Amino acid sequence: MSRIGFRRSIAHAVLPWLLSAAAAGLAVAADRPAAPPQPLSTEEVGRPLTLEDAIAGALAKNEGILIERTSVDSADASVEGAKGAYDPLLAVDLGWRSMTLPVNSAFSGAPEGELAPTDRNAGATASLEQLLPTGGRVAVSADSFRDTTDDAFALLSPAYQTRLGLELRQPLLRDRAIDAARVAVRVAAADREEAGESLQREVADTVAAVERAYWLVVATRRAIGVQEDAVDLASQQLEETDARIESGAAPETEAAQPRAELERRRGDLLATLEVASRAENVLKELILGDDPAAWAERLEPVDEIAIEPETVDIAESMDRALESRPEIQAAEAFAKRRRAEAAFARNQVQPALDLVLGYDRFGLAGTANPEGSGIPGLPGEVPPELDGGYSDALGQLGEGDFDDARIALQLAVPIGNRTARAAARVADNAEVQAEAEVRRLRKAIRAEVLDAAAATATAGARIDAARASREAAEVQLAAETERFQAGLSTNFLVLTRQNDLAAARLDEIEALTDYRIALTAMSRATGSLLDERRIVID
């Protein structure tokens, strides 16, 4: 903002701040469809508000933070859901079946007068399957059946059959280094990390916005005081001029200039009051909820804007920014996701080669089939090892007389495999883009830190210059006033010195406000804002 802007009108001086705040994501009151705000009363006493209280209110009521918190909670749920792929799967199948199937044979075994035997089966099958961190899968299964039949050639009825088995399938190429379950866990973990950094960024942005709005309100309130003093000085100048006119020391036309200047300054004061109201509305939008009483109440910031400039260590600030900025952490988390997806896509190009190991034990027991007639010439007696009941069939599982051991390699080679190769190419490009985005963001943050450091240094230097200018303007006004009272000066010169003093005071307010905002921007740029404000995110 230029000195001319301050000299002409406080409204022209403060409105650019509000517009810049709007560009940063704040909603300026003038953009709302609601009725225009009423100017602040210079005598109204509002609710005292510290900067710490303003930040606490924003953190408690900001909708953006609530949205990001729910995103983090959803990301936590997604991580747990992805790990659910390693939950054991228990399957149980209970059933009963009756079959009478036509037999195309002279030896159908059907009872006399029947075309086919009838078989009835009741049993249960259970399995417990577990996905391994190596991409393999192990399964334990058990079967138990009771069969009855009127087939004349069946040896046992009822017959009890049992089985207990173990199978391990381990990928050796595709899905060995990474599989769908592992990539899902890595992606969910990266998304959770990114969501957490997004929450931290939202909190930092909210704090920065509140501090910016708070100091703008403080600045407009102090500017009101400057404008009120300017009105008082113009009023005093008019009174002195009227006294001179009454005494005959000055013509009546001499009062025109101080009267016109008084009305102009009153207009500037009204404009400043409205600008202050708009600035307060911006702050209210950030820190208040839906309580109508709170919105109707005037806020009165109590923290002092005055501060002594500090020296910024650029190298240290840049190192901290690259280490702490949530934007970089979020970009790196996204790059982790892309790396996991690319690794999985490349792995899927390989042929499938699985090692399969299996072992089963069986049991069989029962009693002689009452409908059996056997086959002439063959033994028809039930072997002693098979004669028994369900417990005998279970006992045979422990003895291991009947078993099945197997080992196999299963190979599947997609000819061409264009789908997997294309997916791998796309994933590789996405990985390169994500890593390039991290590098681009690091450069952008370096530049942002340099810009913030330059703005802080400039604003700090302007404080001393503005203070010296204001002190000089006070001396010049005092001298010009004495000259006027001695009849050695004019209304024009005195009013000009008053305007110079008002402009100098506004310049000092501007410099202090810009420095406060620059400090916040510097802390935001280095990623230290939350630590400096002692804000911890659960």
pLDDT of 29 over the 70 cut:
no
**Which residues have C-beta within 8 Å of that of residue 158, sequence separation ≥ 6?**
146, 147, 148, 366, 367
* Element holding 399 (H helix, E strand): helix 390-399
Better pLDDT: 29 or 345: 345
Distance between CA 215 and CA 27 in Å, rounded? 16
| Cα–Cα distance measured from residue 251 to residue 31, given in angstroms and rounded to the nearest whole number | 49
Query: Any idea which of 26-30, 104-108, 181-185, 511-515 has the lowest mean pLDDT?
Result: 26-30
Residue-wise pLDDT tens digits, 229-255: 999 999 998 998 888 888 888 888 888
In 63-110, alpha helices (H): 63-83
Question: Quick one: pLDDT at residue 372?
Answer: 76
**Percent of the chain scoring above 90 in pLDDT:** 71
Taking the alpha carbons of 319, 321, 324, 325 in that order, is the dihedral positive or negative? negative
State the average pLDDT over residues 274-284: 93
Q: How confident is the model at residue 44 (pLDDT cuts 50, 70, 90)?
A: low
pLDDT of residue 43 exceeding 80, the answer is: no
Burial class (CB in 10 A: 0-12, 13-18, 19+), 6: buried
Q: For CA atoms 427, 428, 431, 432, give the dihedral sign.
A: negative
Closest CA to 157 of 365, 415, 464: 365
Q: In the predicted model, is pLDDT for residue 22 greater than 90? A: no
CB 305 within 8 A of CB 512: yes
pLDDT above 70 covers a percentage of the chain that reads 90
Across 299-303, 307-311, 395-399, 469-473, least confident range: 307-311
Provide the pLDDT for residue 244: 86
Contact status, residue 420 vs residue 414, Cβ threshold 8 Å:
yes
In terms of pTM, does the model score above 0.75? yes
- Average pLDDT (67-74) is 94
CA distances in angstroms from 432 to 185, 200, 331, 444, 445, listed in the order given: 21, 26, 13, 18, 20
pLDDT, position 380: 66
Query: In Å, how far are 134, 319, 360, 399, 537 from 402, measured between CA atoms?
Result: 32, 70, 8, 8, 63
Does the pLDDT of residue 23 top 50, yes or no?
Answer: no
Q: What is the pLDDT of residue 487?
A: 84
**Which phi and psi angles does 252 have, rounded to 5°?**
-65, -30
Contact 325, 445 (CB under 8 A): yes
**pLDDT above 90: residue 312:** no
User: Averaging pLDDT over each range in 31-40, 60-69, 178-187, which range is the top one?
Assistant: 178-187
